[in-house]
Structure 1
Amino acid sequence: MRLDAHIFDLDMNWVAYISNNHAWSAETGNWLGPIDVATCLDQNGKPLVWSPISDIRGTVRPIRPVRAVRSVRPVRPVRPVRPVRPVRPIAPVGGWSQLTWQQWLAQ
């Protein structure tokens, strides 16, 4: 994943950034969890948010990385056209994260 990648919520608010394959809160700078291609994992290694561009898989509990340098706030992107809802994926080995989107961001 690129070092300057950003995560936006459905209202196009900047909520997290990605540095060295880990997600960090845009608000607090706290570590949210690792990134596996296009899947955001919680701090226990369980999938929480994913994209259909890659397989969904969890991992063993990751080691907490050294705090990343805070990212510069990006320009707010134009709201994209609402996509067609994808089919529900098969549950990954080890199961899904127990966190909600808001709980994950609030860590």
Structure 2
Amino acid sequence: MPRKLPPNVERNVVKGHAYLSFRIGKAWHLPQYGDASTPAGATRFNRKVRQQQRYAKQRAERLAAMTPRQRATHDAWHRARRPGLWEAIWFFLR
């Protein structure tokens, strides 16, 4: 009997290779936090939060180092790729 996957995971098989996709649901683009009620879970939670803070700091430094032209290109790229259907429709209709 095949293993049961979590509800937010779907399996795709292409040419005999199974790929797992975690992009199901309304909040696929948001950080997913595990159960922090156990010591191991709290350790994982704290590590994930520290990693996100470190990435935010690196991103802020990278954005501050950009020239105005690079920043405009960067912002346009991100505006074109917002998660969600309505944002995509808004981008193409404006």
Place the TM-score, normalised by the shorter chain, in its bin: under 0.3
Q: Which structure: greater strand fraction?
A: 1
Q: Please, what TM-score do these two structures have when normalized by structure 1?
A: 0.19
In terms of Rg, which structure is larger? 2
Q: Please, what TM-score do these two structures have when normalized by structure 2?
A: 0.20
Q: Which has the higher contact order (CA 8 A, sep 6+)?
A: 1
